[in-house]
Structure 1
Amino acid sequence: MPRTTRLSAGVVVARETSDGWRFLLLRAFNHWDFPKGMVESGEEPLAAAIREVREESLIEDLEFVWGQDHTETGPYSRGKVARYYVARTRTTDVTLPVIEELGRPEHNEYRWVDFDGAMKLVSPRVEPVLEWARARMNGVQSKAG
């Protein structure tokens, strides 16, 4: 069956701190989500997800220590589906670069938040993604160093 949906791909970016894991959330208007964007023609979804994180936050040190499994949202916004992976970063400083076509950053704000804080910010569509990511992360011992 041909895919009629539009696929976007992103990453649940997690950073280990002395107070536990923190998740990167980006705000566009009043909507908080993980870095993500449309998969371009001929592009692998994982490559698109990594590219989107780099474009939206300038984070380049993603480590897929929990594997390359993914989860997807149900269709939303005219049939779009968002696919998410989960990766660790050691980067603490996030930059929201100006998008040339927009003349401003794509996102208004970023936050590193714990799981409970993230659950309060994200939309109901994104909550299962966050729960999936936490379950994946809890299945692997931390490799902090």
Structure 2
Amino acid sequence: MIKEKSCGALVFRKNAGNTELLLIKHRCGGHWSFPKGHVESGENELQTALREIKEETGLEVSLMDGFRQSVEYFPKPHVKKQVVYFLGTPDGDDTVRRQEEEISEYRWCLLEDVEGMVTFKNDKKLVNEAKRYLERRDDL
């Protein structure tokens, strides 16, 4: 069994009193999901997530303490993939500059609409975990 590991984040912003989550559409597979990518040698999970978000979206983000979710799946036979997700907000400018080689589209979506837009069941679960986490926070 080959094991792969990636890290990424659910990136959200406040806009006109609403919480919006950034979705990206991957060129490979055409699914809507979140920025993520493979861990490179010498990186920890947080470093990987920050680098991948920057590469795929152009955004500098701050990751929030207390939110770390891990999902596992089998993208192909004999390959087990773990993806660790964090929750983050853009540092200042929230203008997305997508990585055209990998990302075909992006959207800022209302948090309550995201679950219906993401493709995979694991991502739907992540969205619900993020909603619960954000509802518990009174400083946002």
Q: TM-score, normalised by structure 1?
A: 0.83
Which residue of the partner structure matches residue 35 of structure 2? Answer: 35
Instruction: List runs of 5+ in structure 2 lacking aligned partners.
Output: none
Residue 19 of structure 1, CA deviation:
4.0
CA–CA distance in structure 2, aligned partners of residues 76 and 91 of structure 1: 36
1:92 corresponds, among 91, 94, 97, to 94
- Report whether the alignment pairs 1:49 with 2:49: yes
Identity within the alignment, %: 26
Matched residue count: 133
Which residue of the partner structure matches residue 83 of structure 1? Answer: 84
Which residue of the partner structure matches residue 102 of structure 1? Answer: none
More strand as a share of residues: 2
1:10 corresponds, among 8, 11, 22, to 8
Which residue of the partner structure matches residue 62 of structure 2? Answer: 63
- The 1:19/1:73 distance shift into structure 2, 3 A limit, reads same
- Kept in 1, the 8 Å contact 2:12–2:20? The answer is yes
Instruction: List runs of 5+ in structure 1 lacking aligned partners.
Output: 99-104
RMSD value over aligned CA atoms? 1.8
Q: TM-score, normalised by structure 2?
A: 0.86
CA–CA distance in structure 1, aligned partners of residues 25 and 7 of structure 2: 17
- Kept in 1, the 8 Å contact 2:67–2:133? The answer is no
